[in-house]
Amino acid sequence: MVLVFVMAAVLWGVGAMLGAPRALRWRMIAILWAGVVVLHLILPDGHPLRMATGESPALWLLIGGFVAIALVYRAGLGRLRRRADAQHVPEKKGLFSEAELERYARHIVLREIGGPGQKALKEAKVLVIGAGGLGSPALMYLAAAGVGTIGVIDDDVVDNSNLQRQVIHRDADIGLPKVRSAMAAMQAQNPNVVVRPYQRRLSEEIAGELFAEYDVILDGTDNFDTRYIANAAAVAQGKPLISGALSQWEGQLSVFDPAQGAPCYQCVFPERPAPGLAPSCAEAGVVGPLPGVVGSMMAVEAVKLVARAGQPLLGEMLIYDALWGETRKFALARRDDCPVCGTSRKNGAAS
């Protein structure tokens, strides 16, 4: 009898080593049990095999009966449990936790946002191009506002000269990739948001596929090449592009979206300016708080677009002059001959 238990243990152990499923291992032991019972029934009394395996089949039949009863009982319990689960209607969990409801309470009480608007923000995906002067405040306020998924693409690293205005980064972040530094700051501010960092430069090859994953695009870059790439991809994907720019004491902001009847970026800026006419911040300088003002305005426009609140800056450009404390706004028009969104381009493609 001991021999049979040893053989069963060997079968179980070998099966476990070979990664055999538990059901298969139990099946092998059942075959061993059936073989022992058959031997006891067909071999005469006193046979060496019967003597080595318990002498009488009664004990093995008794063991098999107990096992069968246990299996039937277990199957019955499983059936009752499945029936109870089918009748039980689980409580539907809310989209927001109690902590999130408290965090976003000032949004929810706003008539223009409310619960539906905050729900739209949580379900939204927003991509920010650049984690520098404009991207820093935009990213922080998008995270604070509860935008569910925020992408940030930038190939640069944090430099000491950035810290005068790029407030998402800290002195301890110098030398780190900007997207990683920004992600850490956003997650520390709001652990409920998902941050997707892309440590690379935006290019024509990846722009289309990347933009397809997001609902709204924010362009906080400081060069015309990237702006034209972002504009072309946004128009092709039918996504609104919130664009900001800075120079010394002045900032500008607009929402470009031909799908909503507004012009695209290239309608307004058909060509790159001549060298020297649009110097970078490194060349011309920029007052530290200015990117915070314009970048925050970009985040506001994103919230308005997602929550469908108010009137976004579609077909309009806002100019903020920090030196004199003045704000101007003027209308922008689409150009039929625009190579990106113009009607002449579409007609030419159709013909």
pTM of the model: 0.71
What are the residue ranges spanned by the domains of the chain?
Answer: 2-87, 100-350
Closest Cα to residue 233, out of 207, 214, 257? 207
CB 199 within 8 A of CB 166: no
206 Cβ partners below 8 Å, 6+ apart?
200
CA 215/CA 306 separation, integer angstroms = 8
Q: Give the count of beta carbons closer than 10 Å to the beta carbon of residue 191.
A: 9
Burial profile 38-54: b = 16 or more Cβ within 10 angstroms, e = fewer? ebbeeeeeeeeebeebb
Class of domain 100-350: alpha beta
Orientation angle between helical segments 114-123 and 289-307, nearest 10 degrees: 110
Average pLDDT, the chain: 86
Tens-digit pLDDT profile for the chain (351 aa)? 566 666 766 665 666 676 666 666 667 777 766 776 666 677 676 667 666 666 666 666 667 667 777 777 777 777 766 666 555 444 445 688 999 999 999 999 999 999 999 999 999 999 999 999 999 999 999 999 999 999 999 999 999 999 999 999 999 999 999 999 999 999 999 999 999 999 999 999 999 999 999 999 999 998 899 999 999 999 999 999 999 999 899 999 999 999 999 999 999 999 887 766 666 677 778 999 999 999 999 999 999 999 999 999 999 999 999 999 999 999 999 999 999 998 766 555 543
Q: Which two tokens stand for residue 184?
A: 């850490």
CA 281/CA 165 separation, integer angstroms = 11
H or E, element range at 142? helix 135-145
